[in-house]
């Protein structure tokens, strides 16, 4: 099964200084202004009159913009235009760079709101969406603070939802994605499903259908697991199961590992399933014994998972049913 992620995204490193050029096609916008005496950009009108740029902003701002401009030495010069901006009055500048920044000053505002919320570990989904709508591009946050020393992952980082991800809950949040995606999520009926913000809808729907069909194939009625799509291929294959949190982690770039991790969930929770005939938990011990020789060479060290090798033998058996 292929990746569920979009191929295009804009990665923003919030540890680096703000630059408007990172968010927009600066040269194309510059060319459009130079070639048009009057132009609408990002709910702003820019008129070129006698070599000066007249900007009329149609957006509403409050004093938050003043606060964030004060914090950035490079852009604090735009404080001179704050009163006009707050009152939606025309602003006149000599430099084209200044005209472009003022037209897209809401990106600057949202960037600093994003940075503030991110550092406070608050939800950033709405502000990411605001920036994405302005830029017409998917925004991904990058920060050195996110890097785990030595490339190691811990259970705590894997069982928490990533910043900007979409969370579907059996009892709680059920954000609308699409008719099919929501239908499949409802029928999968997991306790929680975490979807990366940079998903491709067609691929996501196919992945969810694959997962639903797998659950139905084995007639698994107990679905009290958490499913998270997280990039983990560098540490262990396409997926892993965290027993202590009943959490299945699947790499969104290759979801083929779901059936194997589902095997861990079935084994660790003594869940009956159907494979031609009903297989109850009292048969699990025999299944492990019968398959040990066949799969013993596949056993590897599991530094993250907290289950015994018998669970791995069972999962290897289960994924090949």
Strand partners, 91: 55
Q: What pLDDT was estimated at residue 287?
A: 95
**Each residue of 148-157: pLDDT tens digit?**
333 344 555 6
Q: What pLDDT was estimated at residue 230?
A: 86
Backbone angles phi, psi at 218, to 5 degrees: -95, 5
**173 and 292, same domain (yes or no):** yes
**84 and 68, same domain (yes or no):** yes
**162 and 294, same domain (yes or no):** yes
Give the residues of the chain that fall short of pLDDT 50. Answer: 146-153, 301-304
Question: Does 194 map to a domain?
Answer: yes
**23 and 138, same domain (yes or no):** yes
**171 and 290, same domain (yes or no):** yes
**23 and 124, same domain (yes or no):** yes
Give the C-alpha separation, 279 to 140, whole Å.
Answer: 44
- Structural domain harbouring 282: 148-319
Question: Does 133 map to a domain?
Answer: yes
Q: What pLDDT was estimated at residue 150?
A: 34
Question: Does 3 map to a domain?
Answer: no
Question: Does 103 map to a domain?
Answer: yes
**152 and 211, same domain (yes or no):** yes
Question: Does 2 map to a domain?
Answer: no
Q: What pLDDT was estimated at residue 60?
A: 86
**116 and 186, same domain (yes or no):** no
Q: What pLDDT was estimated at residue 304?
A: 47
Give the C-alpha separation, 29 to 79, whole Å.
Answer: 23
**Residue 94 · residue 53 · CB < 8 Å:** yes
Query: Which of 94, 110, 142 is where one domain is finished?
Result: 142
CA 145 to each of CA 19, 44, 118: distance values in angstroms, whole numbers, following the listed order: 20, 36, 10
**39 and 126, same domain (yes or no):** yes
Query: Which of 142, 172, 200 is where one domain is finished?
Result: 142
**309 and 249, same domain (yes or no):** yes
**170 and 309, same domain (yes or no):** yes
Domain total in the chain: 2
Question: Does 4 map to a domain?
Answer: no
Give the C-alpha separation, 81 to 86, whole Å.
Answer: 9
Query: Which of 100, 116, 142 is where one domain is finished?
Result: 142
CA 244 to each of CA 48, 120, 189, 240, 269: distance values in angstroms, whole numbers, following the listed order: 64, 27, 20, 12, 11
Pairing relation of β-strands 192-195 and 38-41?
unpaired
CA 43 to each of CA 39, 58, 60, 134: distance values in angstroms, whole numbers, following the listed order: 10, 5, 10, 10
**219 and 256, same domain (yes or no):** yes
Q: What pLDDT was estimated at residue 251?
A: 87
């Amino acid at each position: 099964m292929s990746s569920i992620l979009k191929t295009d995204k804009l990665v923003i490193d919030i540890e680096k200084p703000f630059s408007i050029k990172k968010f927009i096609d600066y040269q194309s916008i510059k060319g459009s202004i130079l070639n048009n005496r009057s132009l609408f950009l990002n709910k702003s009108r820019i008129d070129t009159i006698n070599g000066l740029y007249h900007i009329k902003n149609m957006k509403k701002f409050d004093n938050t913009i003043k606060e964030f401009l004060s914090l950035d030495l490079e852009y604090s010069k735009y404080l001179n235009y704050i009163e006009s901006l707050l009152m939606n009055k025309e602003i006149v500048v000599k430099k084209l760079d200044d005209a472009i920044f003022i037209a897209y000053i809401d990106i600057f505002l949202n960037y600093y709101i994003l940075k503030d919320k991110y550092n406070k570990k608050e939800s950033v989904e709405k502000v990411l969406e605001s920036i994405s709508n302005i830029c017409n591009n998917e925004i991904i946050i990058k920060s050195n603070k996110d890097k785990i020393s030595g490339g190691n992952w811990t259970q705590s980082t894997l069982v928490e939802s990533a910043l900007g991800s979409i969370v579907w809950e059996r009892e709680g949040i059920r954000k609308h994605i699409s008719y099919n995606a929501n239908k499949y999520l409802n029928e999968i009926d997991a306790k929680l499903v975490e979807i990366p913000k940079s998903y491709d809808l067609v691929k996501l729907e196919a992945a969810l259908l694959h997962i639903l069909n797998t659950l139905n194939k084995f007639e698994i009625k107990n679905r009290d697991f958490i499913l998270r799509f997280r990039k983990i291929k560098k540490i262990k294959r396409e997926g892993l199961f965290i027993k202590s949190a009943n959490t299945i982690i699947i790499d969104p770039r290759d979801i083929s590992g779901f059936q194997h991790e589902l095997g861990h969930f079935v084994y660790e929770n003594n869940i009956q399933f159907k494979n031609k005939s009903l297989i109850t938990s009292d048969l699990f011990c025999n299944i492990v014994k019968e398959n040990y020789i066949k799969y013993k060479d596949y056993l590897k060290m599991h530094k993250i998972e907290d289950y015994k090798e018998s669970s791995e033998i069972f999962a290897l058996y289960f994924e090949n049913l």
